């Protein structure tokens, strides 16, 4: 495949494989030398996994920082070592919360809160991943991190000791930690038995493609039907369309260029970073940087 190709694939990752394994399969099938993903999904989780192709990998932080939506099911009365069904059961309780108690409790988790990651997580402790320390039976303590939960609602409260929820959260939020902490607030234990990510920024189920379906298509179909432009997922940002070839040349050498600020495409109120400006050409991001008056100073070049 052409190494200059850029853009995004809205992948729907299945259960029981790592995010890295999904990338490896795509890389091998379509002979892509450089690709990455925005927001890792646990092996037991399924759902939206945005894949960046080529130099679009430089835009991953801008997608990873956006809000995410999940639907998940908690099993009450049991705590596991990993806060999901993959771990060993470490505590049990006969207390199963009712719908009214759950609805009252979830209100307290909204907003900016401190959250301790699961022991089986990629959080680093003295340079080592927590999941590796847990696997090697090392003793360690994880520090609480500030996270943001925008919305949470109870979808179903079943009689088989489970409840299903939908949330919208910010970067770095651990759904497994929420399950653990919510159960503790209800004087019981709980762990995740099912987890689906339904949205990452502008990526959602509507335009996603299953990994198995993606791996069955031809390369030409992949390029024309599966790749979203690098600009398409950043449509609430401050942007500027480049037309002059001289500007393209100067940018390719990392030089600053002058722009007409009156032609800036105005962002919506949801723009993540008002100071960052993206330069585009025919729907493709070619650089992002900051403005000093009418002078654009590139931070990253994608050409």
CATH number at residue 175: 3.30.2350.10
Supply the residues annotated as catalytic: 42
Per-residue pLDDT, 101: 96
Per-residue pLDDT, 270: 45
CB neighbour burial string for 114-125, b if at least 16 within 10 angstroms, e if fewer: ebbbbbbbebee
Task: Indicate the number of domains in the chain.
Answer: 3
54 and 81 belong to one structural domain: no
C-alpha 71/C-alpha 196 separation (Å) is 5
Per-residue pLDDT, 158: 82
Per-residue pLDDT, 224: 78
84 and 189 belong to one structural domain: yes
**Assigned domain for 245 exists:** yes
**Assigned domain for 274 exists:** yes
**Assigned domain for 1 exists:** no
pLDDT tens by residue, the chain, 303 residues: 556 788 999 999 999 999 999 999 999 999 888 999 998 898 899 999 999 999 999 999 888 888 999 999 999 999 999 999 999 999 999 999 999 999 999 999 999 999 999 988 888 888 888 888 888 888 888 999 999 999 999 999 887 899 999 999 999 999 999 999 999 999 999 999 999 999 999 899 988 999 999 999 988 888 878 888 888 777 667 788 888 899 999 999 999 999 888 888 765 444 445 578 899 888 788 899 998 888 999 999 987
C-alpha 140/C-alpha 132 separation (Å) is 11
Q: Please, which residues have CB within 8 angstroms of residue 134's CB and are 6 or more apart in sequence?
A: 81, 82, 119, 120
158 and 273 belong to one structural domain: no
62 and 94 belong to one structural domain: no
The domain spanning residue 263 has which CATH number? 2.30.130.10
**Assigned domain for 231 exists:** no
DSSP assigned state of 230? T
Per-residue pLDDT, 271: 45
**Assigned domain for 57 exists:** yes
62 and 72 belong to one structural domain: no
Measure the N-to-C terminal CA separation of the chain; round to a whole number of Å: 17
192 and 81 belong to one structural domain: yes
Per-residue pLDDT, 3: 60
184 and 99 belong to one structural domain: yes
187 and 207 belong to one structural domain: no
55 and 132 belong to one structural domain: no
pTM across the whole model: 0.87
Domain carrying residue 268: 238-301
112 and 22 belong to one structural domain: no
Are 81 and 184 spatial neighbours (Cβ–Cβ below 8 Å)?
A: no
**Assigned domain for 25 exists:** yes
191 and 296 belong to one structural domain: no
Per-residue pLDDT, 39: 85
35 and 52 belong to one structural domain: yes
């Amino acid at each position: 495949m052409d190494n200059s190709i850029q853009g995004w694939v809205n992948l729907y990752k299945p259960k029981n494989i790592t995010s890295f394994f999904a990338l490896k399969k795509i890389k091998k099938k379509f002979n892509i030398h450089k690709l990455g993903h925005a927001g890792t999904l646990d092996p037991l989780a399924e759902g939206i996994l945005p894949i960046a192709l080529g130099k679009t990998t430089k835009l991953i932080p801008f997608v990873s920082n956006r809000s995410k939506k999940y639907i998940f099911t908690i099993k009450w009365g049991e705590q596991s070592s990993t806060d999901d069904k993959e771990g060993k059961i470490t505590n049990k309780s006969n207390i199963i919360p009712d719908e009214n108690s759950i609805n009252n409790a979830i209100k307290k988790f909204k907003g900016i809160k401190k959250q301790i990651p699961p022991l089986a997580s990629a959080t680093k402790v003295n340079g080592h991943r927590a999941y590796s320390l847990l696997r090697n039976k090392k003793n360690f303590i994880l520090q609480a991190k500030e996270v943001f939960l925008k919305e949470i609602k109870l979808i179903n409260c079943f009689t088989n000791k489970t409840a299903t929820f939908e949330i919208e959260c910010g970067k770095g939020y651990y759904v497994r930690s929420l399950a653990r902490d919510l159960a503790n607030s209800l004087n019981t234990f709980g762990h995740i038995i099912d987890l689906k990510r339904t949205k990452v920024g502008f990526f959602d189920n509507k335009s996603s493609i299953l990994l198995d379906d993606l791996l069955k298509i031809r390369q030409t179909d992949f390029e024309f039907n599966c790749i979203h432009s690098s600009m398409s997922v950043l449509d609430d940002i401050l942007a500027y369309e480049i037309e002059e070839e001289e500007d393209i040349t100067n940018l390719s050498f990392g030089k600053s260029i002058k722009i007409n600020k009156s032609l800036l495409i105005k962002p919506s109120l949801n723009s993540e970073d008002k100071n960052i400006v993206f330069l585009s050409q025919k729907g493709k991001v070619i650089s992002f940087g900051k403005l000093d008056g009418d002078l654009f100073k590139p931070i990253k070049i994608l050409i």
